[in-house]
Amino acid sequence: MLGMKILVTNDDGIFAPELWVLVKELQNVAQVAVVAPDREQSAIGTAVTLRRPLRVHSLNSVIAGVEAYSVEGTPADSVILALGKLVKDKIDLVISGINPGPNLGDNVLLSGTVGAALQGYQHGISSLAISVGAPDNRYLDNAAKLATVLARKIDSGGLPGGIFLNVNLPARPLTEIREIEITEVASKAHADTVEVEDGGRRKYYWLIRRQVGKDTHKKTDVGAIERGNISITPLHANLFRKPFSVPDSLCSDLLKELQSMGGS
């Protein structure tokens, strides 16, 4: 019997294939439960539903042996419900993803993927948000394998308990990735603008998020991805303490272990 239990969620909905690629790989090292929104919820950030009831549906899992629930709510709602009512056993780790597209810079404040992981962290549970900068579902297995490596590190004490990490992989083959970098969140990477569409009697307004700078400073998440490397960014939600420190020396060990598992 595998001792570790992992809760998997996302912001793309419980039927997103990226989620189940992650679940399948994690089953090699842990028991897995899935609680995720019943529909796509990108860019909803940390939103929590307070003024209406939430419906939950138990599903026949895509993968045998995995308990699965869909939630008529946000990614954050899904984690709160999972930890509070739905999953009976103790959860050791929350993983949100795999997101098809990066979550970098100030986008972490809008990301439903990161918002879901934040709920695990606020409950004192180690939590990961994991994304790949390829919207066409290439290299998902690389992200799933890295999540498995990190899960093993957390379970063995190789990473501190209660850690909150935002992990991004570049859109390139594993053989072309030279480093894993411990990074900071890039600042002023995006800006929101408004476009107007004339609909006859009524105007429509579109909110558009545009990249305004690459901020390729050596230590930023955007910089690491621009260099074709993997970015691991320790995050925190406590204004009175710093993020957990992750030693740079760990990165080479992580990359070697990831490469030994193969991948695309």
Overall average pLDDT of the 213-217 stretch: 59
Is the distance from CB of 193 to CB of 210 less than 8 angstroms?
A: yes
Q: What is the pLDDT of residues 44-85, one digit of tens each?
A: 999 999 999 999 999 998 898 899 999 999 999 999 999 999
Q: What is the pLDDT of residues 160-192, one digit of tens each?
A: 889 999 999 999 999 999 999 999 998 865 556
The pTM score is 0.91
Distances, alpha carbon 202 to alpha carbons 60, 196, 241, in Å: 44, 11, 49
> What residue segments make up the domains of the chain, in order of their start?
5-184+216-260
CB atoms within 10 A of CB 179: 14
Cα–Cα distance for residue pair 74/55, rounded to 1 Å: 11
pLDDT value of residue 54: 96
161: phi then psi, degrees, rounded to nearest 5: -70, 155
pLDDT value of residue 152: 95
The fold of 5-184+216-260 is: Stationary-phase Survival Protein Sure Homolog; Chain: A, (3.40.1210)
pLDDT value of residue 1: 46
pLDDT band at residue 6 under the 50/70/90 scheme: very high
pLDDT of 24 > 70? The answer is yes
pLDDT value of residue 242: 62
pLDDT band at residue 2 under the 50/70/90 scheme: low
pLDDT band at residue 99 under the 50/70/90 scheme: very high
Cα–Cα distance for residue pair 2/4, rounded to 1 Å: 6
Cα 113–103–216 angle (5° rounding)? 160
Segment among 9-18, 209-218, 225-234 with least mean pLDDT: 209-218
Overall average pLDDT of the 99-125 stretch: 94
Q: What percent of the chain has pLDDT over 90?
A: 69
Cα 45–233–164 angle (5° rounding)? 65
Residues 6+ apart with CB under 8 A from 107: 189, 190, 209
